[in-house]
């Protein structure tokens, strides 16, 4: 919020290749946020991660990694 009273954080996860109305979806979302007067928006690239129910670690440039590092 611009006045500093309170605010909220919303995270939206989309695939890099997803598109809407001819634009990358992340770009469309940021443009819509600005057009609707939201205080700010950021599009970030996730380099590596996993979900709560995932057996794989997903990486940006490599095939998914299975299992955990040695010693865990």
List, as one string, the DSSP characters of the chain: -TTSS----------TT-EETTEEHHHHHHHHHHHTT-S--------EE--TT-SEEEESSSPPEES--TT-
Predicted TM-score (pTM) of this structure: 0.68
pLDDT at residue 4, rounded to an integer: 63
> What is residue 71's predicted lDDT score, i.e. its pLDDT?
44
Per-residue pLDDT of the chain (72 residues; tens, 9 = 90+): 456 668 888 999 898 899 999 999 999 999 999 999 999 999 998 888 888 888 888 887 766 666 655 444
What integer pLDDT is reported at residue 69 of this predicted model?
Answer: 58
26: exposed, middle or buried (Cβ count in 10 Å: 0-12, 13-18, 19+): buried
CA distance linking residue 32 with residue 12, whole number of Å: 13
């Amino acid at each position: 919020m611009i006045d500093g009273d309170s605010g909220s954080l919303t995270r939206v996860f989309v695939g890099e290749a997803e598109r809407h109305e001819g634009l990358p979806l992340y770009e469309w979302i940021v443009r819509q946020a600005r057009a609707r007067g939201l205080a700010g928006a950021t599009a970030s690239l996730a380099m590596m991660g996993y979900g709560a129910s995932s057996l794989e670690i997903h990486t940006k440039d490599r095939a998914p990694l299975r299992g955990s590092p040695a010693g865990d």
